[in-house]
Amino acid sequence: MTITVRFAPSPTGYIHIGNTRIALFNWLFAHKNNGQFILRFDDTDTVRSKTEYAEATIADLDWLGIKPVRVEYQSKRIPIYDAAAEKLKAAGLLYPCYETAEELERKRKLRLARRLPPIYGRDALKLTPADRQKLEAEGRRPHWRFLLPNFKDDPFSVARTEVHWNDLVRDRETVDLASLSDPVLVREDGTYLYTFTSVVDDIDMDISHIIRGNDHITNSGVQISIIEALGAKVPELGHINLLTTASGEGISKRTGALSIGSLRRDGYEPMAVASLAVLIGTSENVTAVPDMATLADIFDPAATSKSASKFDPAELDALNRALIHAMPYAQAKDRLVALGIEGNRAEEFWLAVRGNLSRISDVISWWTIIKDGPATEEQLAEEDREFVRTAFDLLPPEPWNRETWKLWTDAVKAQSGRKGKPLFMPLRIALTGLSSGPELADLLPLLGREGTLARRP
């Protein structure tokens, strides 16, 4: 059997870190098992679904290294849903209902008042053909419900009916169908709901494993019943914990918070995002994983916690710095060239400054300092200016290398009697205009003797 998984977002907004966590779990699971990953857009909501959101989702996943074997759109698969719906109708498992939303709410309140569970009472099953014809003559159009198999002979005598599965994440899971209303699968306007289209697609696309959020656990009990009613094999199921913001709030596409696009624009590395999204809320240590293949090696759905996890941008910053500080020049080269940083000393420069960067774009300020002179954030104290002038007179001759800094400061120390911070800080400020930064032993050869003398106060 070929392992086949899917990620099925609604293109009604830009995907955020929570959606992406689910995509990453599916992609890594497929990658680890030599399987395939399908991107399937649930775009049957014609009002809210937009092409721009679908295109952005494809771009965001590609940025993370997630490349589907194919992309599907539910809006293009309506005939397949029509055929499946007709099959259920013919079996008497999809039945028409005519209640309005107001009528359903009144019935729900009445059941609660009688201390009965607030589920649909299947009143529509009592309608005769004449009753239905009369309602439709009044202008009513039916919505269609799936008859859950939670009874023996009489659908009005509901009995406890357990649906079980061994969850990839949560072990043994159970849903009691008697506690649920028959789900609406077809709206009054003839359009289909996710509960139905997802099942039909999973069957048609031979999805072997479904990994999604644990907010779908109850829904899975219903969908297993629909899959079995359509005569298909139930895929393996896994339900992972959801992510919240650092303050514990839910993450929503509608707010745009923590969208992948915003994280890209903020200069985060894709593997920083992937590492945190996958490893947070698991038994694995959250570390900066260098590539997706390595992340797949340590990925284990069963190691995921059952409770929600908080996504803290501060952790993302730490992972981002760790990746950049260890990034080889070959990996950074093209991006540096795009920023105007190239030449025979570009690699030496990168290795000198990468340990002080939080984002790749931060490198521009150090390139400017090396090429054009010190930044102006820090100023030399007046008592240090003469010390620095004298120190510049002691610069050793070229050629310079990493040992030049020690040779120079040893000479300055012997001449001035200064040591420690009073010795090094004024020289750093004179050379870079900043009180902190990369090792001056690495920067000095990049400046050269002429460039260094040009910074003499």
Q: Which residues are annotated as a binding site for ATP?
A: 253
Q: How far is CA 220 from CA 77, 140, 143, 443, in A?
A: 22, 31, 21, 59
Helices (H), 239-353: 260-265, 270-279, 292-298, 313-325, 329-338, 346-353
- Contacts of residue 74, defined as CB under 8 A and 6 or more positions apart, other chains included, come to 40, 41, 42, 43, 44, 197, 201
313-325 and 270-279 helices cross at what angle (nearest 10)?
130
> Which residue, among 172, 169, 194, has the nearest Cα to 184 in the 3D structure?
194
Q: What is the C-alpha to C-alpha distance for residues 274 and 297, in angstroms, rounded to an integer?
A: 14
Q: What is the C-alpha to C-alpha distance for residues 373 and 455, in angstroms, rounded to an integer?
A: 7
- Determine contact, residues 150/158, Cβ cutoff 8 Å: yes
Q: What is the C-alpha to C-alpha distance for residues 240 and 299, in angstroms, rounded to an integer?
A: 13
- Determine contact, residues 438/366, Cβ cutoff 8 Å: yes
Q: What is the C-alpha to C-alpha distance for residues 187 and 189, in angstroms, rounded to an integer?
A: 5
- Determine contact, residues 169/157, Cβ cutoff 8 Å: no
Q: 307 forms bridges with which residues in the sheet?
A: none
Annotated binding site: 253
- Contacts of residue 420, defined as CB under 8 A and 6 or more positions apart, other chains included, come to none
Q: 171 forms bridges with which residues in the sheet?
A: 167
Beta strands of 78-180 (E only): which ranges? 94-97, 143-146, 162-167, 171-176
* Residue 247: strand, helix, or coil: coil
Q: What is the C-alpha to C-alpha distance for residues 212 and 228, in angstroms, rounded to an integer?
A: 20
Instruction: Count other Cβ atoms within 10 Å, centred on residue 283.
Output: 10
Q: What is the C-alpha to C-alpha distance for residues 359 and 454, in angstroms, rounded to an integer?
A: 29
User: Omega into 399 within 30° of 0, i.e. cis?
Assistant: yes
Q: How far is CA 78 from CA 86, 292, 313, 372, in A?
A: 12, 35, 41, 62
